[in-house]
Structure formats: C-alpha cells, structure tokens
Structure 1
Amino acid sequence: MADLNKRLFSAADNLRSKMDASEYKNYLLGLIFYKYLSDKLLEKVVEVADESIDKYDSQAIQTQLYRNILADKEHRDDLMDTLKDTLGYHIEPDYLFNVLTDQAKQNIFQLNDLHKAFIDLSTEYEQFNGLFDDVDLQSKKLGSDDQQRNITITEVLKKLNDVDVMGHNGDVIGDAYEFLIGQFASEAGKKAGEFYTPHEVSDMMAQIVALGQKNKKMFSVYDPTMGSGSLMLNVRNYLNHPESVKYHGQELNTTTYNLAKMNLILHGVDKEDMRLRNADTLNKDWPTDEPYTFDSVLMNPPYSAKWSSDKSFEDDSRFNRYGKLAPKSKADFAFLLHGFYHLKETGAMAIVLPHGVLFRGAAEGVIRKKLLEDGSIYAVIGMPANLFYGTSIPTTVIILKKNRTTRDVLFIDASKEFIKGKNQNKLSKENIDKIVETYKQREDVEKYAHLATFDEIKENEFNLNIPRYVDTFEEEPPVDMAAIGASIKKIRKEKAELESSLYEMISSLQYDEENADWIKGALEVFRHGK
C-alpha cells in the first residue's frame, strides 16, 4: 500500500498544478484501471498458452508471446474467443499499457493511441461504455496544445507503470481513491464522505449484515447510493460462497458511478452478476422488477441532503406506511425508507446517517416512531467523530430488520474508542471486533452498550439519542483540598524568598546616573510588593 501511495503521489505531481484534485483523481484512477485490464490480459495469455508465469516473468516477454499467437492464424481466433469468454474483452498488443509506457520512456508516445484504446474498449464492449469519459485526453488543462498534453500524460504513464495492480493486496481502486481523497482533502474532500466509506466502517457494516446469512448459496446485496462500490464488495469477505454474490447498485454522480463499475470489474465481478444504474435513487424507485428485495442493504447516503418531498410520494410504496414524508431539507429518512423497502424479510440493513435522525422531531419523529412501533430498528451504533472524508461530524450506523418478534433496540456507544489521526480518525481491528461482538451478544456492557426495551424507548418519547440509554459519564476523582492548600502555601513561600533575593541583588548593584531611575523604580516595585 505504501508503494501504491508513493507512486500515486508522484504521478499526481504532474497534474496537481494543472487542475484540482477532484479532476486529476479521475485521470489517475482511470489509468490505473486501464493498466489493470492490460496486465490481467497478459497474465491470461500466458495461462491460455499453457506456459509458466515464472518463465514469462516480464511484460515484454508476455507481450511478445501475445503477438506471436496473434500472428498465427490457426491460433489467433481461439485466443481471441477465449479472452472474450473469460475476461469479457481484449486489447490489441499495440495498445497495451506497458507498450504505451515503453513508448513514453522513448519519448515516442502518441496521445491518440491511448485515446483509440479507450474508444475501442468502450464501443466494442458494453461494460466499458462511458467508463473512460472522465479521462479527457483533449482537455486544455493537460496542456495548451497536443504536444504539451502528450508530455503530461507521458510522465503520468511512466509513474504509474510500476504500480503492481495484480499483486496489490486489497482493493486497489478503493485504496487509491482513499489515498487521493485523504492526501488532497483540502482540494477534493468537500463531499468525499458522501461517496466513499472508509474501509474500517465498511468492514464493520459488512460483518454485521452478513451475520446469520454466511451459508447462503446465493446472496444479493444492494446499495442505492453506492459511491465507489466498496461497501457492496466488502460483504463477500464474510460469506462462505463469495463467488455467487449478485451486486445491485445505483449512483447519481456519473463519475462516481463509473468508478464503482471499474471497482467491481477490477474485483472480478462478471457483468452478469452486476446490475448497476446511474440515476437518482429517491426521484424514482429502482429496481421495480424482480429481484427488487435483497439479502443485505448497505448505504452511506449524502447527509441531510435536499429532495423534492413532493406530495406524489405520499402514495409511493416506499414511504406510504410511515405517516409523513421526510422533510425537503433533510432526505435522511427518505434514503433509509427506500433501502428498507428493498430489504428481504430475512435480511439485514446497515445505513450511516448523522445523529439528528435519532432525535429530531416533526415529520422525522413520526417516521421514527412508526419504525420503532414496527420493531424495524434493531440496533443504533454511535461512531467516533471525524471518520469520514469531508465531514468531521460524528455519525451513527443504524441496523434494521423485518418481521421481528420483539421491539427492543441495542444501543452501542463506540464514539470514544478509535485511533486519533492527523486528518482523519480511524477504527482499529480491536475497535471493530468489539462493536461486532457486542452486537452479536446483544447484552448490556457498562458505559458501552445497553439493550433498551420498547417501554423504555416509549418513556423517552421515541427519542433515540444514545446518551439517554448508554451512560458514559466518568466521575471526576475527589479533589484533595488540603494538598492543594499546602502546595499554594509552598509556592507563595518560594515566591517571597525569590523576591527577597532579587531585592538584595539589585540593591547591591553599582550603577551610574544614566541607570539610576531604572534601579530606583525596580526597588520601589519590590518594596510595594512586600
């Protein structure tokens, strides 16, 4: 990860002075994704040729093998069919990332070749349609003319060429995205928390929604505000059949939607297993055809966003059971109810929201009361402040379930246990494990968790503010007034002795007429003090 960050930082140097981070982030992520597609293809060529990766241990040798097979008419069609069947795409040898980088090192790289590579992928294979739109190679910000733009991208290619995207242990797009947002938050991070959930929080939510469902042969996950897609991808880490997960996601921001699509492809998700949509989640319900309910729903929507709250939504099956619509100025409950509507009767939902949803009144109070009366709210977890990019506010993770036989709610106050960071706070593995274990045990833990009965919640007028249920107050140790008095007496005695010593020292000084007034003034101060 350190190596990835180092190379990203270096590559960003070539773009940082030309555009803000929200733009150059798209170039870096798009090029890393293209490098992944290129490198993966070369590995597949070696495998299809039934050769050893140890023998073909450099991309130059792998590329030559690829060219040789394509030059043989007898084997060319077989290889192309295999690549399309297994990878879902192919790239001509002249447009491979490593070939273009070699040209960049020789200063013979042509921007049009990379542009053509993007066009070929986007037009020939549906899954790549629009994915490279944000890597605008004709942008004036890269340079005033073709030559300058060529030089800029040449330098970026050389910097990114050494990133080991195939051997990177983890989520390379997610890790790269998190680094870029964190490193340049002052430029790009204004609303980054809306479309990127820090890995630790994502991991905790994934563990929770997978509980009791790990053995399902077929598992479906839905994120109606999917951002980079990492929330959905994390769930498979806690399932016994990760290869059979079906991913359903929606995202309003087109750039972020493309990022999620890249992320899923990069994680080996087949196009048949992903159903993604670039649209407004609240404006029109989706999905409406089968399947429209899912084993898990995970969400980190934009906090307290505005929405229309139009009267027509009162008849919408997502919202019509709850008495009121979420207010125009705060769509938090609209997002929650949308996700909950799409949850299976046997599933679990986790959503990140600001604390206001726990106690605000008016329409939100009506909706919250109905959810509690139905037993839909299963747990409320208070998270530390400053975990998310672009916002320092503390958040809450709410867990919802359907068809419960009880209406109690588990409250966990995890707000005080975290690793303090320079820019962002983080959760340690121990912090996450404690939350998940407490959630599983569903019992009181002093100053950390409380299982509240429905009657208790009713007594609190359906206010879910966590301090009402989890007392984290720490008593101050008793003050020893006698010790403080003795300390003050000692300090006064030392002060008097010091002043006396200074008075004697100044009195004994030899001085001329020029300093006489200053010395007399100083002695007068000490006399007055005494």
Structure 2
Amino acid sequence: MSEDQKRVLEQQLWNIANTLRGKMNADEFRDYILGFIFYKYLSEKMEIFANDILKQDKIKFREITPKTAQANDFLEAIKEEALEKLGYFLRPEELFTEVAKRGMGNNEDIDQFDESKTNFILEDLQKILTNIQLSTMGTESEEDFDNLFEDMDLNSTKLGKTPEARNTIIAKVLTHLDKIDFKLENTELDVLGDAYEYLIGQFASGAGKKAGEFYTPQEVSKILAKIVTTGKQKLKSVYDPTCGSGSLLLRVAREVKDVAMFYGQEMNRTTYNLARMNMILHGVHYRQFDIKQEDTLEYPQHIDDLPFEAIVANPPFSAKWSANPIFTSDDRFSQYGKLAPASKADFAFVQHMIYHLAENGTMAIVLPHGALFRGGAEQHIRKFLIENKNYLDAVIGLPEKIFFGTDIPTCIMVFKKCRENPKDVVFIDASQHFAKGTQNYLRQEDINKIINTYQNRITEDKYSFVASLEQIRENDYNLNIPRYVDTFEEEEEIDLDAVSNKLVDLEKDIKTTESEIAKFCKELNISTPF
C-alpha cells in the first residue's frame, strides 16, 4: 500500500469517527470508534482463520447456519482451535459484516439513511461484544480480553436521545467501516495497525491535557525506541511502566526483528483497555504481552518478573505519589537512602525502572527539565545514580511544545547498568532543532541527528558535549544542559566610531530639514514648530 493510499484510508476512518462525534468530546467518541474497529478486526481475523480450517470441507465459515449438516461439530472444532490460536471465538452470525448488513436493513444508500428501514441491532451488538469476552472464560487469554468493551455503552444518550436514533448512527458507522478493506490476509502489511495509531494520534491532538494519559508523539517514541535498541536485532523483553495506549512498546518492536515479550502497566482503566486492543490489532499474540492495570509506583504488578532488556517510559510529568516511608524498605528504593518527594514522582519512576532493568539492558525515560537540576532528595538520587552506580549514559534536551497538553520543554535521560563508556556522559541540546506548528514537532533529520550524536558520542559546538564524570561532580550533579553545552551566541561587535559619525551626519540632516521647514513656514506666514 502506497503512502497516498494509507493517507486516504486514514482520512476515511477519521471521517467515519466524526460521524459519531455529536456532542461527545474527543476521548468519549474515541472509545466507540476504536472499539468498533477492533470488533471488525476480530471478526475478519476469525473468518480468515475459520475459512482456512474449513478448506478441506469446501465450505465457508459464514455459510454455516443451524441448518448446515454437522454445524455444531464444525463450530466446536473451530472454537477449540480459535481459543488456542486467537484467544477468542465468534460465531458466523456474530461477524462484523453480518451485523452491519442487518443494521443496514432495506436502505440502499448509506448517505440517505432512513431510520424506518433499518433493523434494530443494538441489543444483538451489545450481546456479541459481551460474548467475545465470555468466549475466553477459563482460557489463557481470559485476562487479555476481560472487559475490553466496557467503555462502549451502546445505550448512552450521547449516541442519540432515543434507541432508534442510537441504532441509526451505529448502523451507519458499521456500514461505513464494513466497506473498508484492512487487507488482513496480507500478513506483510499492517494497514489496520498503522491506521489505528493514526487515529490515536488524532484523538490525542484534540484531547488537550488528557492526551498525556495515553499518547507519546511518534517522533519522541522513535527516539526512545532507537536508543534502547541500539546494537540489538532481537529483544527478550520490553517494558513500559506507564504504557498508556501501548504505542511506545509497539514502536520499540519496529526497531528490531523480534520482541519475545511485551510488559506494561497502566493506571487508567480506559487507557488500559486501549493498550490491550492496540497490542492485538498489531498482531501481538495474547501470550506475548502482559499488560496490567494499577498504579505502577504504589502497586507494581511485574515485580516478580525477570529483569527487562529494554525499558521505555513517558510518565506523567512531576506527578504526585504517596512517598510513604514504608517504601524505604522496598527493594526499588531502599539502596538510595532517600525517596523522591511526594510532590514530584519523576525520580521514583527512574528508581522503579532501574530496579527492573537487566544488566545488559537500556532504559530511556522522558522527564521535565526540573528533574535535571532540582535540589534536595532529587539531587541526592542523581548523585547516587552517577557517583555510586555510574548508570547515567546520556541527557537529551527536547524542544518545547512537542507534547500534547503541555508547553514545557522536556528531556530524555538514558540509563545503563553496564555502560560501554563508563567515564563520561553525553549531553545533547536538541531544543532548537524542530519544525514549528500549533504543536511543534521533530523532523526526521532532527531525530537522525539526535540518534547519531548519542550512538557515536559526538561533541559538536552548540549542540552536544561529552562530559567527564569529574565535570559532573564539579557541577555538584546538576545536569542542566546549558552547564555542558554552550549555546551562547556572541553579539556582533559595534563600531563606535562609525556610530558616532552616523550621529553627526544625522544631526546635519536634521538641521538642514529644520531650515527648510522654517523657510516654508515664513512663506505661509505661520509660526515655525522650532
């Protein structure tokens, strides 16, 4: 699929999404449209899988009805295989296309939808979405499908004041979506995954401050992903303790040939559902991801899992946490001697991630600039990480206004337990290298420059500097980038003699002009203004 075709598809999906919008805000109608797309994906995946099994019987899955000979035998055999391989099961009459057709009713033109000609499908559809989850009960995939569609209340008045109005709008959306080919049979393409990412980005741009809960801009995700995969083709595991919609985890997977296992934790229930959908939509098998829902700092869910080879995160900036004294005996924090302040959890996330990092691993975390230079407990933790552990590998300053919902400039801190360059830390000031817009963004050349500078540890005037540990020590573990990368621009020297001569000439010009004005005033018989 060409880039132009992808853009057409993305625009089609965005137009369909806006059919639902009405009076809903971005994060509300997001849950419906992404849920319907996910249902369509599950249906098409189910049909392709079942048709492959039924090839030898020369029958199509959708053709199986209660009247079909051995219908129950066919369905039971397919269900058993589907639960093992796909993790869920749908009956032929529950497929997306069949429901869309029933909803269309006797309407011939989708743009001239007559409510009286539609069939009522709301109850059926709600049951089907529930049945998808119920089909997994008692199986390995149960946790991964549990309450996935809980944010799709088809009886919400936000969809329409009456059941008939709600039915019409949903039937329209399903019919529009049914006409789009996601090309799932072509396993080389990830058309739907890319389109899903596009929609998540679009919703983030309209969600204001809430966007930070579920989305990291793609260009920042690329930087984090490229950093933690440097020198690697395969990863045993990747982990994001504040995984949002899961986009950052999936971005890491694009930088290597294979990721054996994805781990993540997300506090927001709706966003947690979105992350699981996103994983499945991108073809990640249910056995290959373990996404949990809970507060990462207070109730870590992966504490007993093996250390992770790659860790990425874009945690909420300067979030509050309990900083409960009980955590001083928690293995994640105990060795530091101090906890991150309750008002700013930035370094609590750093400590949590380092605890989970494998000896051969790399972690990259996005933080507000204040984390680089604030004093107190944070300075104490910085000193411990640099002086006692020597884990800090790089500090990268990013431009302002590149994250949704905040204008503040941010940075990326990179940590490794076994550093290839243990005697220095590379500082990069990329804050002036971006394209301006309503939302500023990093261009591909900006991303390439950051990654090249990091990987080759280049010192470049006014852009980067490789600082020795001694220099960081001299700065009392203050990591503020301007202390290491000199971006001061000298002002052009002023020629005072030239300025003086110019003033003399101006004075002569003024006197000449005043003389002329006085002459005209005399001729007009009026007083001069001088």
TM-aligned CA distance change 1:261 to 1:493, over 3 Å? same
Mapping for residues 3-402 of structure 1, pairs under 5 Å: 3-50=8-55, 65-69=60-64, 71-73=68-70, 75-105=74-104, 106=107, 107-125=118-136, 126=142, 127-166=144-183, 168=191, 171-182=194-205, 184=206, 188-214=207-233, 216=234, 219-240=236-257, 242=258, 244-291=259-306, 293-373=307-387, 374-402=389-417
1:447: Cα distance to partner? 1.4
Between 267-276 and 188-197, the greater mean CA deviation after superposition: 188-197
Between 339-348 and 486-495, the greater mean CA deviation after superposition: 486-495
Whole-angstrom CA distance in 2 between matches of 1:120 and 1:252? 26
Whole-angstrom CA distance in 2 between matches of 1:165 and 1:176? 15
Q: Would the aligned equivalents of 2:392 and 2:414 in 1 still touch at CA under 8 Å? A: yes
Whole-angstrom CA distance in 2 between matches of 1:464 and 1:192? 28
> What are the ranges of 5 or more consecutive residues in structure 1 without an aligned counterpart?
52-61, 509-519
TM-aligned CA distance change 1:420 to 1:488, over 3 Å? farther
Normalising by the residue count of structure 2, what TM-score does the alignment of the two structures yield? Answer: 0.85
Q: Would the aligned equivalents of 1:376 and 1:407 in 2 still touch at CA under 8 Å? A: no
* Letter matched to residue 480 of structure 2: N
TM-aligned CA distance change 1:159 to 1:488, over 3 Å? farther
Whole-angstrom CA distance in 2 between matches of 1:488 and 1:13? 67
Of residues 430, 433, 449, the one that matches 2:464 is 449
Identical counterparts, % of pairs: 43
Question: Is 1:440 matched up with 2:455?
Answer: yes
Whole-angstrom CA distance in 1 between matches of 2:473 and 2:440? 34
Aligned match of 1:512: none
Whole-angstrom CA distance in 1 between matches of 2:305 and 2:19? 47
Of residues 436, 443, 458, the one that matches 1:420 is 436
> What are the ranges of 5 or more consecutive residues in structure 2 without an aligned counterpart?
1-5, 108-117, 137-141, 184-189
1:437: Cα distance to partner? 1.1
* Letter matched to residue 304 of structure 1: S
1:245: Cα distance to partner? 1.9
SS at match of 2:358: strand
SS at match of 1:365: helix
SS at match of 2:335: coil
1:303: Cα distance to partner? 0.6
Q: Would the aligned equivalents of 2:62 and 2:93 in 1 still touch at CA under 8 Å? A: no
TM-aligned CA distance change 1:493 to 1:90, over 3 Å? farther
Q: Would the aligned equivalents of 1:200 and 1:426 in 2 still touch at CA under 8 Å? A: yes
Aligned match of 1:513: none
Between 437-446 and 362-371, the greater mean CA deviation after superposition: 437-446
Aligned match of 2:111: none
Question: Is 1:406 matched up with 2:422?
Answer: yes
1:158: Cα distance to partner? 3.5
TM-aligned CA distance change 1:487 to 1:238, over 3 Å? farther
* Letter matched to residue 260 of structure 2: V
Deviations 1:438-475 (A, max 9, x none): 11111312211111111100111110000000112222
Deviations 1:467-512 (A, max 9, x none): 00011222233456748975996899699889979x97x999xxxx
Q: CA RMSD in A?
A: 3.2
1:282: Cα distance to partner? 0.7
Whole-angstrom CA distance in 1 between matches of 2:507 and 2:30? 59
Aligned match of 2:110: none
TM-aligned CA distance change 1:94 to 1:464, over 3 Å? same
Aligned match of 1:511: none
Q: Would the aligned equivalents of 2:10 and 2:195 in 1 still touch at CA under 8 Å? A: no
* Letter matched to residue 436 of structure 2: K
Residues matched between the structures, number: 493
Normalising by the residue count of structure 1, what TM-score does the alignment of the two structures yield? Answer: 0.85
SS at match of 2:344: coil
